[in-house]
Amino acid sequence: MRMMLATLWRIFATLCAFMVIAALLIGINLERILMVDGPLTKADHAVVLDGNNARLLRAKELLDQGLVNDIWISNGEPAHPDEIEQIVESLGYHAPDRTEIKRQILEHLGVPADKLVFFGHGSLTTRDEAKALREKIGDQAPSFIVVTTNYHSRRAQAIFQAAVPQSIVQVTCQQGCVAPAHWWKDPAIAAQFVLEFVKQIYFRLGMAAAG
């Protein structure tokens, strides 16, 4: 019995050691795992994903630099009002339309209205956005520069490339698709990175199962 317990303890200790080493390796390489950053080549369209209006600024830069011909904006899912928000609306206060806000931001920045294209009908996830883009282009094969956030860049590129395999998909982020210095010291940023790592595993497993 004592020998069996000793054997089980050694197995447990070995597994714990492997887990610690794996965690350290993942932590050291997390930026490389989550992000893709590199020089951009000219593309047909910039595609701004929903979720952060600061991405509109990067899309405007791409247009000004002549790297894209126009800006395509994802029409994200509006927030479903909870009970208190419904009361607020009943009092006559209505939340502004998110898509219209994006339009007005870009036009305020000087982007002509004919350079703006909206696609999708309330996308909830990145996959929904990629599916909406595929439906928008049909059998065409334009090239895209997807504008997203640093920690989301590698998975976003993979999702869109899988959805539109006939197209060339690049990815870019405001201030580069790189992690801020000493990101692990900021609990909020570290939590985002860990969550994105889990999402990427889920995505890769789903792609493997589909293949």
Q: Per-residue pLDDT for 207 more than 60?
A: no
The answer to whether residue 2 sits within a structural domain is: no
Q: Mark whether 51 and 83 lie in a shared domain.
A: yes
Q: Which residues of 148-185 are buried (b: 16+ CB within 10 A; e: fewer)?
A: bbbbbbbbbbbbbbbbbeebebbbbbbeebebeeebee
27 Cα distance to chain centroid: 20
- Across 31-35, 85-89, 129-133, which has the greatest mean pLDDT? 129-133
Number of domains in the chain: 2
Q: What mean pLDDT, rounded, does the chain reach? A: 81
Q: Is there a single domain that holds both residue 43 and residue 127? A: yes
pLDDT of residue 20 exceeding 90: no
Q: Is the pLDDT of residue 211 over 60?
A: no
Q: Within this chain, do residues 107 and 204 fall inside the same structural domain, yes or no?
A: no
Residues 131 and 211 in one domain: no
Residue ranges making up the domain that contains 63: 35-178
Give backbone dihedrals phi and psi of 9, rounded to 5 degrees, phi first.
-65, -40
* Torsion of the alpha carbons at 28, 33, 34 and 35, rounded to the nearest 10: 100
pLDDT digits over 75-101, tens only? 876 656 678 878 888 888 877 778 889
Q: Which of 61-65, 172-176, 197-201 has the lowest mean pLDDT?
A: 197-201
Please report the pLDDT score of residue 210 as a whole number. Answer: 46
Q: Is residue 126 part of a domain?
A: yes
Over pLDDT 70: what percentage of the chain? 79
Same domain, 64 and 99: yes
In the numeric block, which tokens belong to residue 95?
């939340």
Amino acid sitting at position 39: P
